[in-house]
Amino acid sequence: MITEIRKKLADGKASIGCWLTSASPLAAEAMASIGFDWLAVDMEHGAADIESAGNLFAAAERHGAAPFVRLPSADPYFARRLLDAGAQGLIVPVVENADAFMDFARHCHYPPAGRRGVGLSRANQWGDKFDQMVPGFRPFLVPQIETLKGVDEADAIIGLDVTDAVFVGPYDLSASLGNAGDFSGALFREKLETVLAACRGHGKAPGIHQVETDLDLLSGRLQDGFRFVAYGTDLTAMRTALKGFQGIGE
C-alpha cells in the first residue's frame, strides 16, 4: 500500500487520506471503503489505544487503505509497538530537530539500516510473512512541522532521506505564532511558504489537514501545492452532516 503512495507522490500526484479520532472499527471500515489512500489513527488527540489501533488497522487494510497512525509523541519504543501492530506509516508530532528525527527513524527501520527490534507480530503475520516484511520494510515517515522552531529547522528535516512527506499542523503552528486558529495572517502564510519551499527544494510532498469536509476547500489546498492531505475526520464529518436540524418541525 505504501509503495503505491510513494509512487503517486513521486509522480507529482496527490495522496488523500482521512483522520480517525474514534476507536470504532466500523467507522474505520466505512471511511476506508470510500477509497482513501490511507487512514490515520489519531493517538495524540483521539481515543485509540494500541489494541484498538490494531483493529482499526485491520479495517483499513480490508479496503486497501494504508494504516497510518499519528503518534502522541516521538517515542521510538511506542512507535515500534505500533509498527508491530501493523502501522505502515507514522505521523510524528512536534518535530523540531533533524538529528532527533533521524534518531527516531532508526528505531523504525530493521537492522542493518536501523535498530528496530525484530520479532513475530501482526505486521508479519506472526512469522508467516517474516521474509517479506523484515528485510526491506521501510515505514512511511511524516514529521509534523507545527512550531516556529520546527519551521526554522524545516529544510534540514525535510531534506532527510527518511522523510517521505511532511505534515503542517496548522492549529499548533498558528498557536505558536500567538494567534491560534488564524490561518489568514501574513506571518502564518510566510511560515507556511517556508515549509512549502523546502518541500519543493527537496522534492518532498507537503501535507496538511483540511478539517472541514468541503470539496472546494480541498481543491484549494491542492492548488496551494499540498499533495499529502488529510480530508476531514470521522467525528467532525458526522457532526457536519447532522447539523442544521434545529428548528425544523417547530
Residue among 105, 98, 209, 207 at smallest CA distance from 158 = 98
Distances (CA, A) of 12 to 9, 45, 117, 168, 203: 5, 31, 34, 18, 9
How far is it, in rounded angstroms, from Cα 79 to Cα 74?
8
Count CA atoms within 13 Å of residue 200 on its CB side. 9
45 included as an active-site residue: yes
* Alpha-carbon span 40 to 13, nearest angstrom: 19
Q: Return all residues near 215 (Cβ < 8 A) that are at least 6 apart.
A: none
Name the active-site residue from 45, 107, 109, 202: 45
Q: Cα(46)–Cα(151) distance, rounded to whole angstroms?
A: 25
Classify residue 135 by burial, with Cβ atoms within 10 Å: 0-12, 13-18, 19+: exposed
Cα separation, 171 vs 9, in Å, equals 25
Give the separation between CA 115 and CA 94, rounded to whole angstroms. Answer: 22
Bond into 139 cis (ω within 30): no
| Residues labelled catalytic | 45
